[in-house]
Chains A and B, each alone.
Chain A
Amino acid sequence: MGPMNTFTDIWKQHDFATVAARIAAASEADVRRALGKQGRGLNLDDLAALLSPAAAPFLEEMAALSHRLTVERFGRTMQLYAPMYLTNVCANICSYCGFSAQNRIPRKALDEAEISAEADVLEKFGFDHVLLVTGESSRYGLSYFQNALRVLRPRFSNLSMEVQPLDQDEYAALTADGLSAVLVYQETYDPVAYPKHHLKGPKADMEYRLATPDRLGGAGVKKIGLGALYGLSDWRAESWFVGLHLNYLEKKYWKTKYSIAFPRLRPHEGNEIPVTPFNERDLIQATCAFRLFSQEVELSLSTRESPHFRNNAFKLGFTSMSAGSKTNPGGYASEPESLEQFQISDERTPAEVAVFLKANGYEAVWKDWDSTYDGQTLSQRSEEVAQSVTE
Chain B
Amino acid sequence: MKTSPLVIAGVTLRSRLFLGTGKYSSGAVMAESLAASGAELVTMALRRVRTDGGHDDIMSQLDTAKYRLLPNTSGVRDAKEAILAAELAREALGTNWLKLEIHPDPKYLMPDAVETLAATKELVKRGFVVLPYVHADPVLCKQLEEAGAAAVMPLGAPIGSNLGLETRAFLEIIIAQARVPVVIDAGLGTPSHAAAALEMGADAVLVNTAIAAAADPVAMGEAFKLAVEAGRLGFEAGLAARSTKGEASGTSPLTAFLTGV
Contact = CB atoms under 8 A, between A and B. Distances in A.
A40 B172 CA distance: 9
A40 B241 CA distance: 12
A362 to B, nearest CB: 14
Contacts of B255: 59-60, 63, 281, 284, 316
B254 A64 contact: yes
Report which residue of B238, B239, B241 has the largest number of chain A beta carbons within 10 angstroms of its beta carbon: B241
B43 to A, nearest CB: 24
Contacts of B176: 41
Interface string A285-323: 000000000000000000000001100110110000000
A227 B232 CA distance: 34
B196 to A, nearest CB: 14
Contact of B254 (A1, A33, A309, A316): A316
Nearest to B258: A281
B13 to A, nearest CB: 15
A360 to B, nearest CB: 13
Contacts of B68: none
A207 interface: no
Nearest to A282: B261
B258 A61 contact: no
B258 A35 contact: no
A274 interface: no
Interface stretch (B93-101, B127-135, B245-253): B245-253
B247 A64 contact: yes
B244 interface: yes
Interface residues of A, number: 35
A3 B7 CA distance: 13
A312 B256 CA distance: 9
A281 B249 CA distance: 19
A313 B258 CA distance: 9
Interface string B216-251: 000000000000000000000011111110011110
Nearest to B259: A281
B247 A61 contact: yes
Given A63-B254, A279-B261, A251 B243 contact: no
B238 A3 contact: no
A65 B178 CA distance: 26
B10 interface: yes
Determine chain A's interface SS by DSSP, over half rule: helix
A33 B240 contact: yes
A61 B179 contact: no
A289 B163 CA distance: 36
Contacts, number: 73
B107 to A, nearest CB: 33
Name which of B239, B253, B258, B261 has the most chain A CB atoms within 10 A of its CB: B258
A63 B257 CA distance: 12
Would you call the interface of chain B mostly helix, strand, loop, or mixed?
A: loop
Contacts of A67: 254
Contacts of B189: none
Given A36-B241, A61-B244, A280-B261, A251 B254 contact: no
A309 B238 CA distance: 36
A8 interface: no
A64 B258 contact: no
Nearest to B238: A33
A33 B239 contact: yes
A79 interface: no
A60 B255 CA distance: 6
B250 to A, nearest CB: 8
Contacts of A308: 257
A158 B243 CA distance: 42
A269 interface: no
B38 interface: no
A60 B254 contact: yes
Interface in B162-187: 172, 176-179
Given A60-B254, A308-B257, A251 B177 contact: yes
A44 B253 CA distance: 28
A277 to B, nearest CB: 11
B201 A36 contact: no
Given A64-B254, A316-B254, A36 B242 contact: yes
Contacts of B244: 32, 35-36, 38, 61, 65
A254 interface: yes
A65 B247 contact: yes
A169 interface: no
A374 interface: no
B142 interface: yes
A37 B249 CA distance: 18
Which of A32, A64, A68, A308 has the most CB atoms of chain B within a 10 A radius of its CB? A64
A349 to B, nearest CB: 23
Contacts of B10: 1
Interface in A1-52: 1, 3, 29, 32-38, 40-41, 45
Given A250-B177, A252-B179, A32 B248 contact: no
Nearest to A36: B241
A61 B248 CA distance: 5
Given A60-B253, A60-B255, A254 B240 contact: no
A63 to B, nearest CB: 4
A296 B255 CA distance: 23
6 contacts: A35-B247, A59-B258, A60-B254, A61-B248, A312-B257, A315-B254
Given A36-B243, A252-B179, A254-B142, 6 more contacts: A3-B179, A45-B238, A59-B255, A65-B244, A68-B247, A309-B257
Interface of B: 7, 10, 142, 172, 176-179, 200-201, 238-244, 247-250, 253-255, 257-258, 261
The 9 closest A-B pairs by CB, nearest first: A36-B241, A312-B257, A63-B254, A36-B242, A32-B241, A61-B248, A64-B248, A281-B261, A33-B241
